[in-house]
Amino acid sequence: MQQLEHSGVLHLRGGGTSVVLATDLADLPVIVWWGADLGDLQDPELADLVAAGVPQRVSGGLDAPVAMSLVPGQSAGWFGIPGLSGHRAGRDFSPRLVTRAIDVERVRAGGDGPARVVVHAADEAPGLTLDVELEVTPAGLFRQRLTLTNRTEEPYTVAALAPVFPLPAGADEILDTTGRHLRERSPQRHELTVGAHVRESRRGRPGHDASLLLAAGRRGFGFGHGVVHAVHVAWSGNHRLVAERTPTADAYLSAGELLIPGEIALDRDASYATPWAVGSWGEGLDQLAHRFHQELRARPQHPRRERPVTLNTWEAVYFDHSLPTLLTLAERAAAVGVERFVLDDGWFLGRRDDTAGLGDWFVDSAVWPDGLDPLIAAVRGLGMEFGLWVEPEMINLDSDLARKHPEWILRARDELPLPGRQQYALDLAHPDAYKYVLERLDALLSEHDIAYLKWDHNRDLLEAGSAETGRPHVHETVLALYRLLAELKDRHPGLEIESCASGGGRVDLGILELTDRVWTSDTLDPIERLTNQRYTGLLLPPELMGMHLTTPKVHSTGRTVALDLSGGVALFGHFGIEWDLTTLDDEGLSEVAGWVALHKRYRDLAHGGRVVNGDGDPHADVRGVVSADAAAAVFTYAQVTTSVTYPPGRFTLPGLDPDRRYTVRVVAGSVDDGPGQSPLAWTRRPITLTGRQLALAGLQAPVLYPGRLVVLEVSAV
């Protein structure tokens, strides 16, 4: 480890990203550049880069120019949102944290600069120390984490603590997402004007309306063009994302935990560490997303084996757990190529509907007189893994657990908060509640051959406090959840867990440190899923996103959809089926089996390649995955609504090697299905074009009925 004097400039590099830190402009270092790699700059060049950006004194302002530091505050003349807010019973509200040392902990091979530094700072008067970890990863992500420690006897209350990510010149438009149950990740854009754009989640989980990323870039940026930067907070509880432009022309993004008043009160030598805040950038959103995908795929715990094709029983049987029906369903599932069979809600004590039973994690002998083993044995005998639905963080009042331990229910006062989904939240931070849940889940996994848990979380938290102390407990319950997941995985090697939160209500890089996929949304409507999966994909690669075939009449929207649309929209992800296959005849089963086989044909490509999205006709959707060597790709073209022109215009295929020749062929889906249409040449026979021609000139779009889809295979000649 190398320790530097706190002066000069540090250049962090990796994965095509540069971060330049000036250590002598303010009490804390200042990030003077975050974005494209600046090359192997020498010290004089770095010094001039810093000098080029020093602000000047202006009329009516402070007597000394102010540079936005890592944790800006009023003691340094900062009038924007402070990086740290806190106090001791109203005092010490404006600490002055000053750099004491900087450690360079890791240096990239090849001498291209440090990849990780830790800044140590302190304010001796109020007795606070701060460590700021900054690193640029091999994928080019920029990560920051802050740790604040109280060094005196009097407690220090932390109100807010979050790092900043400065934006380059030209960032004038914001992109975030919002939504609701059954419609998560709906994009919205805003002008980045002077002032703050704040997105907060106070739901005890990220929530359906959460923005996975807060992005800012040049106006009109798309998936393939325009410089854009974004941040994400790797945390599964309350959080806060900020984009602010100040009257002094500073513009930045910030990502941190949102703390409930009084939630973090530090005793002597106690510390609060923020979640990792993670930044990415790119020439277009696809490049920005690819950095996240690379980083996730490089993790040691990232799933390495092929993602099993999954059938989930919920929309097939709901609470009707008839063993003969489930056995028939399992046989049909195996016949079409399913590799994992998941028994959803309704198997545990007293669970005949969603008003009772949560918390009583015992197999219900009234429904399962011989236990789960007959079904598990049949599933395993058919060559499939067995999975089970659980919701361990929740409790129904109509349960033995609630009657015995009402003090384990999160609340702010004696009476309970408003109910949601006929249930309440369990205080996992209560040691006895944690012990009980761990024991019950461990027993289920030990007594049965269960390879997979669908881990649900079906309500937002309200007034989430300890019944015993009255203190807020969101932060503590999230940490307890992480401990619980880690303990179960440690006790049961190979166990896979899905993060489901009434669909996509808990999708973040914190939960994905300990889980193996997310349920992207409770809606299986493929039209709705197009947008949902595209914007979830800004953070996650396809193999971490559950994408399933649906029944022809979609349960959540009532829309009737074609199998080619349902299959094509699910094709790239962690593929599965949410359908009562016992209702299909042999022809219907054969069609489903064909889509399962098509997914398996492209599974390795989809789960290891580079995701690309078309920026074209709003009435159509083009997306694909290109192999790492650009030798192969698979694309889908979906007609979402009718086109203004008839026939439609051209569409392009991005992301291919511009100088290679590729053969394009239709391998599945609808072709020329309208009445009175002439055949479209390239849909009738393979054609060969260069990657440049496909990206610039493209192909004539087929005339399809709305809600139909074509799958294209692209192979280098």
The rounded distance, in Å, linking the Cα atoms of 681 and 693 is: 17
User: What is the phi-psi region of residue 439: left when phi exceeds 0, alpha when psi lies from -120 to 50, beta otherwise?
Assistant: alpha
| Other Cβ atoms within 10 Å of 50 Cβ, number | 21
CA atoms of 3 and 104, how far apart (whole Å):
6
Cα gap 387→150, rounded to integer Å? 45
Query: How big, in percent rounded to 5, are the helix, strand and coil portions of the chain?
Result: 20, 35, 45
CB 238, CB 202: distance < 8 Å: yes
Residue among 209, 360, 364, 456 flagged as catalytic: 456
Cα angle for residues 310, 311, 313 (degrees, 5° grid): 145
Task: Give the Cα separation of 441 and 651 in Å (integer).
Answer: 50
φ, ψ of residue 632 in degrees (nearest 5): -150, 155
Q: For this structure, is 456 an active site residue? A: yes
- Indicate which residue of 360, 522, 525, 564 is catalytic: 522
502's tokens: 């009434």
Q: Which helix (H) or strand (E) holds 286?
A: helix 285-297
Listed in sequence order, the residues at least 6 apart from 312 whose beta carbon sits closer than 8 Å to its beta carbon are: 342, 344, 454, 548, 576, 577, 578
Identify the three-state secondary structure at position 384: coil
Question: In one letter, which amino acid is 707?
Answer: G
Beta strands in 551-698 (DSSP E): 574-578, 610-613, 620-626, 632-639, 650-651, 661-669, 687-690
Strands 574-578 vs 310-312: parallel, antiparallel or unpaired: parallel
Name residue 446's amino acid.
S
Q: What is the DSSP letter of 206?
A: -
Q: Which residues are catalytic?
A: 456, 522
